[in-house]
Structure 1
Amino acid sequence: MKPQVISIVGPTAVGKSELAVQIAHQFNGEVISGDSMQIYKSMDIGTAKVTEEETEGIPHHMINIKEPNESFSVAEFQERVSLLISEITSRQRLPVIVGGTGLYIQAVLYDFNFSSEKRNPDIVEKLEQEAAEQGIESLYNRLKTIDPAQAAKVHPNNERRVIRALEVYETTGQTLSHNHDDQSQNSPYIPHIIGLEMERTALYDRINTRVDEMLDQGLEEEVRSLYDQGFENCQSMKAIGYKEFIPYFKGEYSYERAVELLKRNSRRYAKRQFTYFKNKLNVQWYSVNPLKKNDKNEKILMDLAGMLEET
């Protein structure tokens, strides 16, 4: 019988981590972080990692497994999490994946075959040279024409992912999003995907408040420490919450501008997350009112109990 896996998805700041702990308590589960940045050590505040107190004794996996200067990919995430799911289910416990990195979670639940997308060093070198000569914007505009669905998921300045998507197309003649869509038909698991959504104004208020709380907790100092250690150009420092401070440290704009951009980028990211989950995964959505969150969580726990019993 296929293992059952619960996934909690939705935009940042909507309350996923708290719900995941409640589900793990209720159904003898262990939590797996589905966030592509919580894997990095020393990046605690800006990635909103759960504290030891917030875990309430529930095991949490895929947190603090990489140094800030190490690279990470969706393929590695898939490999590690697939193994974790096997280990957790072998202990007669329930895997609970929680996070907001849609492609990572989708790749695990639907077992994307990344081995079919081999690297082509010649094409990569050619594209990197084009990026150096013409700028990454030129390549991103080409990706928008070739594969608009994939372009919508990639930040225009994320050179690595833009080049990867173009490389797959030039190597195989098929777009990366087409390859992923083809694989999103069957799952090696019985996935129960719970989505949390919130009225936009309320969500944006929560995001702005969360940023203020992160700043009070020492976010600027956390980013400056990483910057001073020479991690400026690492993959990890491209994350929202970190990249906004680097121009401020260099004197290119003010602290107030850095905070403004951080809040704006966080709100935009939340919108992209919601769009991705709506379009790519079969999600059971629940609208959360911040003032009645506990009532909604109780409803979700009851519904999950029914879903797990049915299967």
Structure 2
Amino acid sequence: MNGNNTVGRKNNTVYIIAGQTCTGKSTVAYYLAKRINGEIVNCDSVQIYKYMDIGSAKPDKKQMEQVPHHLYDFVDPRDNFTVAQYQKLALDTIDDILDRGKTPILVGGTGLYLNSVLYKMDFAAKPVDMERRKELEAIGEQQGSQYLHQLLSAVDPDAAARIHPNNMRKIVRAIEAYELGDSIDPMNKLQPNDKYEFRFFALTMDREWLYTRINRRAIKLMRSGLIDEVKRLKAMGLTADDQSMKSIGYKETLKYLDGEIDLKEAVYEIMRNTRRFAKRQMTWLKRYDDVNWVEIRKGEAVSQVLDQILAGVPEAAAQK
């Protein structure tokens, strides 16, 4: 990171546009960037992947051409990508944008990615014991992820509460972290990253309207070619075991293509799982003390949303 350059900067502000899925974060961030001479930095763990455009709901290509967008569409979906890798790239990108006199706008809804920027999270962990990892993975294959989750609950209940019982990869990593004495601290124990001045906004909207938008998007994904996109990913050798294919939209479509469910069930599962994800996102966002909530109302122009975000920011006009 270019930490030594912060002293000479006129601006060290980083905007964060977070919020639940389907609240229009990408659109708001795009127009905000145009107003304040900003550049957008992705904070979504699915939009990092190449070849996964429809299901991940990446920003509009025309918008990406008109405003610089960073950390989108650059990881092969067959590769695992860690929070530590994201943190380094995100912080380096933020520094580069600031050094060029622009304003970074971090956009997305992946909580761990966001935390890796907001807090001083040291991922320089002890070397991984690959033999132990293989042993834990073998236990998971034989006994099931629920069994591993129970093991994790016994040694690190806080981590177990944060991790879904079916997410074997995260359960194994959490057990490893505990055994290495390097478990991830809960947010109230993390030290804030005071290198930047964060302006943290979370978009929200009426729940019924949000759920309607979620349901409509599930249908739109199918009409836009999600099935063909997943077929191409399958042809590349990707399966349900790959990290990228566990994302909402992809895992359900994969089940349809594998004959496990019919198309109607796939669409229903996408709707249901997205609604559940939106609830988890809200729970996560409520943990932050310094978040500014911005309610999106029906019929409201984007300019009105930006006025809420920029209210009380005197330099906003000067950055146009």
Give TM-score, length-normalised by structure 2. Answer: 0.89
Match of 1:221 in 2: 228
**Cα separation, partners in 2 of 1:297 and 1:36, compared to 1, 3 Å:** same
Determine the C-alpha separation between the residues in 2 that align with 1:141 and 1:293.
Answer: 48
Q: Which runs of 5+ in 2 are unaligned?
A: 1-6
Contact 2:49-2:74 at 8 Å conserved across structures: yes
Determine the C-alpha separation between the residues in 1 that align with 2:114 and 2:280.
Answer: 15
Contact 2:32-2:306 at 8 Å conserved across structures: no
**Cα separation, partners in 2 of 1:209 and 1:290, compared to 1, 3 Å:** same
Match of 1:40 in 2: 49
SS in 2 for 1:8: strand
Match of 1:143 in 2: 152
Match of 2:189 in 1: 182
Q: CA offsets, 1:245-275, max 9 Å, x none?
A: 2222121221111111111111111111111
Q: CA offsets, 1:65-121, max 9 Å, x none?
A: 111211101100000011101111111000100000011011112131011454233
Determine the C-alpha separation between the residues in 1 that align with 2:53 and 2:312.
Answer: 30
**Cα separation, partners in 2 of 1:176 and 1:207, compared to 1, 3 Å:** same
- How far is 1:16 from its partner? 0.6
Match of 2:174 in 1: 165
1:27 aligns with 2:33: no
Q: CA offsets, 1:169-188, max 9 Å, x none?
A: 1221x64234x543333432
Match of 2:254 in 1: 246
Contact 2:294-2:309 at 8 Å conserved across structures: no
1:17 aligns with 2:26: yes
SS in 1 for 2:311: helix
**Cα separation, partners in 2 of 1:288 and 1:151, compared to 1, 3 Å:** farther
SS in 2 for 1:268: helix
**Cα separation, partners in 2 of 1:125 and 1:290, compared to 1, 3 Å:** same
Match of 2:164 in 1: 155
Match of 1:198 in 2: 205
Contact 1:196-1:286 at 8 Å conserved across structures: yes
- Per mean C-alpha deviation after superposition, the further-off stretch among 161-170 and 5-14 is 161-170
Contact 1:117-1:168 at 8 Å conserved across structures: no
More helix as a share of residues? 1
SS in 2 for 1:68: coil
- How far is 1:14 from its partner? 0.4
1:260 aligns with 2:271: no
Give the residue type in structure 1 aligned to 2:189: D
Q: Which runs of 5+ in 1 are unaligned?
A: none
1:269 aligns with 2:277: yes
Cα RMSD (Å): 2.1
Contact 1:21-1:56 at 8 Å conserved across structures: no
> What is the total number of aligned residue pairs between the two structures?
307
1:89 aligns with 2:98: yes
1:299 aligns with 2:307: yes
Q: CA offsets, 1:122-163, max 9 Å, x none?
A: 432332122122111111233345444433443332221111
1:73 aligns with 2:82: yes
Determine the C-alpha separation between the residues in 2 that align with 1:66 and 1:263.
Answer: 26
Determine the C-alpha separation between the residues in 2 that align with 1:281 and 1:236.
Answer: 31
Contact 1:109-1:188 at 8 Å conserved across structures: no
SS in 2 for 1:244: helix
Q: CA offsets, 1:220-250, max 9 Å, x none?
A: 1111211122111321111111011222212
**Cα separation, partners in 2 of 1:291 and 1:147, compared to 1, 3 Å:** farther
Give the residue type in structure 2 aligned to 1:120: D
SS in 2 for 1:204: helix
Match of 2:3 in 1: none
Give the residue type in structure 2 aligned to 1:263: M
Identity of aligned pairs, percent?
36
Match of 1:127 in 2: 136
1:5 aligns with 2:34: no
**Cα separation, partners in 2 of 1:19 and 1:84, compared to 1, 3 Å:** same
